[in-house]
């Protein structure tokens, strides 16, 4: 902190005070408002706060928050303080706040919104950038994610001091990372293919087989990986296999963990050191948390977009454990619920399904079309009352998740 220019010191002080006031006023953790005000005072605040630190950036459509948490846990093995935006505030103000709150941390692991990666990469001169996946978010159209991939590609091409850790199984990611001077390829898998049928390089149809994917027209091919996720184990670059045995459930989290291991490897933290730390992560910002409510075990899962719903279905307990689905359409969720039609709900047949949220009727119409029987519920409490003892899984989109989290937290 002492080595910061005066204006930046002033900006963090004012920003910190604003954040504290916001916290006292009960408006969240206050980090974003502090960052916003800090950036007004010193527009280069993020760059100034990043000077001299080893920075890791994590981006992609799904898994950013969890992967950021896992990387932070793994790098704990180095015994140094790590600055991180653990609450998912992933635009410039949130990142400046995260660095401002940990002025002496020599390392930082930061989740970055997809659209901000080029700016943040330029400002922080990150050592490592992890690219997870790219698919339509609820508000995006396919053309927009292609534009995001193109901007990443341009920014990474000139990042000569940066190591990119990228998922080779996602063709858009492979293309975006392909121009970077230093890439570590990770075979982390891809369940959602709907946004990558076409070759990012020439637009032709991609062919998928047991070896991955390739383009028959221009020859663009899946780069060979040095880290490979296979079921529940990972093979490291030396060819050694390690059992993951994570506490976090599901295939998507195993993919996040393999990326975290590859990033940790770039800092000299091997899988033997990193894995015990990854296994200790049991929930991330309320996700996967199990809460007891009137004798029922309620578990919360977040799904913000079509690919996210597919991954959440993977994590559900076996039938007959009931599931509650909750959908809102506020600003952060996207106002338009037409994305519900991109999700295949038929996997839910054969288990009790309850539906709630402000847009429960949109979801009801969608489930009817997929011939999935369901019942409407007023809210999460009503749903809990309707299931007999035992367990209830909850899948909710962004603001619906936050509402349920608050309501369960209050009387858990």
Query: Token pair for residue 41?
Result: 């005072």
Contact present, 157 and 122 (Cβ < 8 Å): no
Residues that bind Zn ion (CB under 5 A): 199, 201-202, 204, 215, 217-218, 220
Query: Token pair for residue 324?
Result: 């509650």
In whole angstroms, the minimum distance from the beta carbon of 150 to Zn ion comes to 15
In whole angstroms, the minimum distance from the beta carbon of 218 to Zn ion comes to 3
In whole angstroms, the minimum distance from the beta carbon of 146 to Zn ion comes to 13
Using the minimum distance from each CB to Zn ion, give the nearer residue, 43 or 219: 219
In whole angstroms, the minimum distance from the beta carbon of 137 to Zn ion comes to 25
Using the minimum distance from each CB to Zn ion, give the nearer residue, 195 or 393: 195
Q: 298 pairs with which residues across the strands?
A: 291, 392
3-state secondary structure of 235: strand
Using the minimum distance from each CB to Zn ion, give the nearer residue, 181 or 216: 216
Using the minimum distance from each CB to Zn ion, give the nearer residue, 201 or 407: 201
In whole angstroms, the minimum distance from the beta carbon of 260 to Zn ion comes to 31
Using the minimum distance from each CB to Zn ion, give the nearer residue, 199 or 383: 199
Helix (H) or strand (E) holding 241: strand 241-243
In whole angstroms, the minimum distance from the beta carbon of 40 to Zn ion comes to 45
Using the minimum distance from each CB to Zn ion, give the nearer residue, 217 or 342: 217
d(CA 333, CA 102) in angstroms, rounded, equals: 30
d(CA 162, CA 384) in angstroms, rounded, equals: 49
DSSP character for 370? T
Block residue for tokens 């002492």: 2
d(CA 167, CA 225) in angstroms, rounded, equals: 8
In whole angstroms, the minimum distance from the beta carbon of 207 to Zn ion comes to 10
d(CA 255, CA 52) in angstroms, rounded, equals: 30
Of 166, 172, 178, 169, nearest to 209 (Cα)?
169
d(CA 10, CA 274) in angstroms, rounded, equals: 38
How buried is 79 (Cβ within 10 angstroms: 0-12 exposed, 13-18 middle, 19+ buried)?
exposed
Using the minimum distance from each CB to Zn ion, give the nearer residue, 119 or 221: 221
Using the minimum distance from each CB to Zn ion, give the nearer residue, 220 or 288: 220
Helix (H) or strand (E) holding 36: helix 31-41
In whole angstroms, the minimum distance from the beta carbon of 213 to Zn ion comes to 10
């Amino acid at each position: 902190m002492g080595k910061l220019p005066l204006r930046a010191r002033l900006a963090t002080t004012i920003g910190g005070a604003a954040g504290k006031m916001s916290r006292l006023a009960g408006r969240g953790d206050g980090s974003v408002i502090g960052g916003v005000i800090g950036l007004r005072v010193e527009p280069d605040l993020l760059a100034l706060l990043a000077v001299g630190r080893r920075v890791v950036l994590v981006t992609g459509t799904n898994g950013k928050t969890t992967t950021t948490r896992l990387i932070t846990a793994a790098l704990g093995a180095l015994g140094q303080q790590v600055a991180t935006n653990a609450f998912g505030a992933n635009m410039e103000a949130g990142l400046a706040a995260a660095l401002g709150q940990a002025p002496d941390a020599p390392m930082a692991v930061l989740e970055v919104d997809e659209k901000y990666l080029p700016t943040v990469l330029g400002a922080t001169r990150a050592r490592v950038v992890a690219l997870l996946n790219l698919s339509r978010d609820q508000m995006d159209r396919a053309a927009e994610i292609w534009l995001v991939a193109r901007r990443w590609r341009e920014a990474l091409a000139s990042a000569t001091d940066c190591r990119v850790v990228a998922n080779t199984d996602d063709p858009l990611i492979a293309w975006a990372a392909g121009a970077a001077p230093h890439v570590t390829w990770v075979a982390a898998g891809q369940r959602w293919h709907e946004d990558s049928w076409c070759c990012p390089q020439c637009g032709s149809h991609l062919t998928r087989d047991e070896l991955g994917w390739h383009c028959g027209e221009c020859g663009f091919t899946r780069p060979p990986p040095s880290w490979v996720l296979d079921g529940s184990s990972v093979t490291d670059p030396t060819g050694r296999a390690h059992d993951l045995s994570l506490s976090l459930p599901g295939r998507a989290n195993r993919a996040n963990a393999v990326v975290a291991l590859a990033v940790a490897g770039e800092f000299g933290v091997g899988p033997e050191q990193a894995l015990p730390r990854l296994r200790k992560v049991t929930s991330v910002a309320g996700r996967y948390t199990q809460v007891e409510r009137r004798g029922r075990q309620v578990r919360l899962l977040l799904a913000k977009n079509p690919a996210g719903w597919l991954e959440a279905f993977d994590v559900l307990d076996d039938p007959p454990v009931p599931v509650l689905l909750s959908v809102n359409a506020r600003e952060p969720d996207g106002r338009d619920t037409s994305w519900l039609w991109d999700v295949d709900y038929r996997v839910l047949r054969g288990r009790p399904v309850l539906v709630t949220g402000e847009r429960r009727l949109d979801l009801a119409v969608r489930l009817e079309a997929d011939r999935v029987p369901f019942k409407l519920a007023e809210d999460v409490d009503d749903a809990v009352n309707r299931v007999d003892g035992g367990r209830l899984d909850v899948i909710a989109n962004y603001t619906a998740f936050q509402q349920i989290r608050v309501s369960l937290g209050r009387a858990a």
